[in-house]
């Protein structure tokens, strides 16, 4: 038996916890401001007295907003998949969202229709992502009597993803040079601001998704103990799982339709936030959203500055810049996140 009084003080101290969260939330606007100072045209606030200066700032501001929304969506989505699937390797694309969206987008780009109608590409990507989720869920449910197991979900997700990627490869291999460039650029991911109406629409979807997840957060906590135990705690486990999967897919599909496929954010930011602030989802939902957004904003600022005037795809920067930093954090604090 642990009767040593020190035990009570080895864990989280509420005061220190709050301070940590406060510091983090203070750092967020500062980091966002920093991103406004970085760009291919030079470091620092552009000269606002000239029209070019104010338009540069407007451009940077637009990309910052894109980064915040896309990053938050990916991170929150990944967090939900990790909780529902009880698996640290889960990420927003685990159930084939990326494969489905990518296939839809590739078809749309190569068919040339993305130029004809401004909203065609994002809508196609979004719709095919949601269709893919339904296919994956349907397949996984077949053998399990209506409610799929975590393993059958992951497995059928991986298989459907592979099929989609092969189809994309096939389409790419037969594409013209110009189409090829567009497809690859889209798949690498970038935060070029989308049309205003799409921005408003996407922002609404992402806010809705995050709110939906936040409402589920205490139930997500219970579900990490497994479906059976969650049921005994008075939770409608099946309904929560379906709702969580839907919200998470909505977020991931929205992010993909805005910015293409940006990897790493949805996998690693939830882990880091969990390592820093513990696995309680009531806190983790807002923190992971804010954290993911800020991370992507910073990565994008780096992407357009480091090799200026050349711009590196932001999806490349997320892993290169974020990888080592997060490895250090995880190596030191993984115990606080997963067993």
Q: In the complex, which residues of this chain contact another protein (CB under 8 A)? A: 1-4, 7-12, 83, 86-88, 145, 214-215, 217-219, 221-222, 224-226, 228-229, 231-236, 274, 278-280, 282, 335-339
Q: At residue 177, what are phi and psi to the nearest 5 degrees?
A: -60, -45
**What is the token pair recorded at 48?**
């606002």
* 253 to 124, 168, 188, 202, 232: CA distances (angstroms): 10, 17, 15, 10, 33
Smallest gap from Cβ 96 to another protein, in A, equals 23
Pick the closer one to another protein by CB: 126 or 326.
Answer: 326
Cα radius of gyration (the chain) = 21
In three-state secondary structure terms, 189 is coil
Q: How many residues does the chain have?
A: 339
Smallest gap from Cβ 10 to another protein, in A, equals 6
CA distance 87 to 42: 43
Pick the closer one to another protein by CB: 286 or 313.
Answer: 286
Smallest gap from Cβ 207 to another protein, in A, equals 16
Smallest gap from Cβ 229 to another protein, in A, equals 6
Which secondary structure element, helix H or strand E, spans residue 29, and what is its range?
helix 14-37
Contact 107, 179 (CB under 8 A): no
Pick the closer one to another protein by CB: 65 or 333.
Answer: 333
Pick the closer one to another protein by CB: 165 or 218.
Answer: 218
Pick the closer one to another protein by CB: 185 or 338.
Answer: 338
Smallest gap from Cβ 300 to another protein, in A, equals 30
CA distance 189 to 314: 6
């Amino acid at each position: 038996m642990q009767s040593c009084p020190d035990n009570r003080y080895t864990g989280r101290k509420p005061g220190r916890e709050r301070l940590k969260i406060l510091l983090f939330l203070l750092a967020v606007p500062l980091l966002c401001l920093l991103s406004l100072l970085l760009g291919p045209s030079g470091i620092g606030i552009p000269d606002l007295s000239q029209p070019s200066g104010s338009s540069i700032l407007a451009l940077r501001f637009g990309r910052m907003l894109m980064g915040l929304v896309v990053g938050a969506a990916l991170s929150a989505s990944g967090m939900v998949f990790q909780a529902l699937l009880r698996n640290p390797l889960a990420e927003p694309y685990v159930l084939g969202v990326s494969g489905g969206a990518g296939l839809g987008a590739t078809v749309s780009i190569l068919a040339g229709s993305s130029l004809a109608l401004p909203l065609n590409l994002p809508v196609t990507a979004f719709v095919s992502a949601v269709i893919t989720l339904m296919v994956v869920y349907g397949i996984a449910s077949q053998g399990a009597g209506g409610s799929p197991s975590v393993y059958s979900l992951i497995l059928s997700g991986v298989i459907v993803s592979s099929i989609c990627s092969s189809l994309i490869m096939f389409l790419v291999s037969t594409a013209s040079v110009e189409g090829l460039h567009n497809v690859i650029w889209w798949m690498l991911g970038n935060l070029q601001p989308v049309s205003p109406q799409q921005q408003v629409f996407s922002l609404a979807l992402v806010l809705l998704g995050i709110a939906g997840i936040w409402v589920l957060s205490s139930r997500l906590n219970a579900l990490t103990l497994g479906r059976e135990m969650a049921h005994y705690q008075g939770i409608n486990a099946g309904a929560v799982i379906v709702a969580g999967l839907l919200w998470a897919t909505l977020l991931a599909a929205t992010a993909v339709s805005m910015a293409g496929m940006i990897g790493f954010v949805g996998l690693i930011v939830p882990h880091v936030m969990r390592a820093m602030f513990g696995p309680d989802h009531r806190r983790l939902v807002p923190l992971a959203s804010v954290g993911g957004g800020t991370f992507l904003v910073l990565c994008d600022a780096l992407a357009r500055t480091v090799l200026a005037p050349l711009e590196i795809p932001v999806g490349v920067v997320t892993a290169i810049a974020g990888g080592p930093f997060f490895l250090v954090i995880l190596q030191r604090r993984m115990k606080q996140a997963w067993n």
